[in-house]
Amino acid sequence: MPDQADDRELMIRAAAGDRPAFAALVDRYGGRVFHLARALVRDDATAEDVLQDTFLAAWRTAASYRGDGAVASWLYAIARHAAHRRARRADQIATDDRSLEALGAAAGWGQPDVLDVVARGEDRAQLEAAMAALPDDDRLALWLHHVLDQTFDDTARVLGCSVAAVKSRLHRARLALAASLRQGGDHVAR
Amino acid sequence: MSLDDRVAGISCREVLAQLGDYQDGGLAADARAALEAHVGACANCAAFGGAYGGLVARLRERLTPRDLDAERAARLAARLAQDE
């Protein structure tokens, strides 16, 4: 994981117009931002648009970075907004309003095949398909915390909610992911 | 067996509600001990807890972001260079 103090130093220099410093941040976070964007929109071309929107906005507004959170989470928040602007509303998957008990049952509590979800999760394609079927904010929370190693605080900053809400969302999202894997990636939040 | 059954002093429903905090290390010591005692004696919660924790591990292992490929990185660099 990139060093946060080094990130801040690069951001300070970028805010002063230092293009090589900004290019170093692009090298460091370009892949992560693209894959986060790809998790939020439906195709590679739109994800690349989000990638470009994100770093263009970051370059133009570098001076507004106040250092009160990690540079990474600042970039991911910009990417989230960029993805929302690019994504068509019809593509978005609404919040899952099932009870925790219903989610647990769908995830396999009490079922003999419950451990199959771990085996299915070994396959990146199956895992990505199951993730794609989750509500947008569930998918984003899982990506930020479990894939991009964002702290609870930084995940909350990107999502614009409290740490308690992040923890609750992550729990529901993990259950929904298990349910999605059991169902072969079919949409589970309808 | 239902989610309302109590094993080792707590119900499966309570275990389900607390599993996220347990996974994240956010449970107080007494609650953690109670949950572990339940899971140690309840086959359904033991299997479910194993699947839940295993799935989190698979997320970290399988979805590791890759670097940008060279062509995509070049297009991004070109787009940024246009913005003077």
* DSSP state, residue B3: T
pLDDT value, residue A188: 46
pLDDT at A186 over 70: no
Nearest-angstrom CA–CA distance, A169 and A159? 11
- A56 vs B83: CB contact, 8 Å cut-off? yes
> Best mutation site among A171, A180, A181, A182 for testing chain B: the one with the most B CBs within 10 Å?
A171
Question: Measuring CA to CA, how many Å separate A140 from each of A17, A22, A80, A81, A100?
Answer: 31, 25, 9, 12, 19
Domain A100-182 has CATH 1.10.10.10: yes
A109, A113, A138, A168: best to mutate for the B interface, most B CBs within 10 A: A109
The answer to whether A170 and A134 have CB atoms below 8 angstroms apart is no
Neighbour count for residue A152 (Cβ, 10 Å)? 17
Buried b (16+ CB within 10 A) or exposed e, B58-74: bbeebbebeebeeebbe
The C-alpha atoms of residue A82 and residue B27 are separated, in whole angstroms, by: 36
Give contacts of B 43-62 with A, CB under 8 A: 44-45, 47-48, 50-52, 54-56, 58-60, 62
Residues 6+ apart with CB under 8 A from A106: A98, A175, A176, A178, A179, A182, A183, A188
Q: State whether residue B11 is helix, strand or coil.
A: strand
Other C-beta atoms lying within 10 Å of the C-beta of residue B2: 9
Whether B19 and chain A come into contact, CB under 8 Å, resolves to yes
Per-residue pLDDT at A190? 37
Is the CB of B65 inside 8 Å of chain A's CB atoms?
yes
pLDDT in tens, B29-62: 999 999 999 999 999 999 999 999 999 999 999 9
- pTM for this prediction: 0.89
CATH topology (fold) of A4-86: Rna Polymerase Sigma Factor; Chain: A (1.10.1740)
Helix axes A100-107, B43-62, angle to 10 degrees: 80
Q: What percent of chain B has pLDDT over 90?
A: 80
Domain layout of chain A by residue ranges? 4-86, 100-182
Nearest to B66 among A31, A36, A104 (CB): A31
Cross-strand bridge partners of residue B7: B10
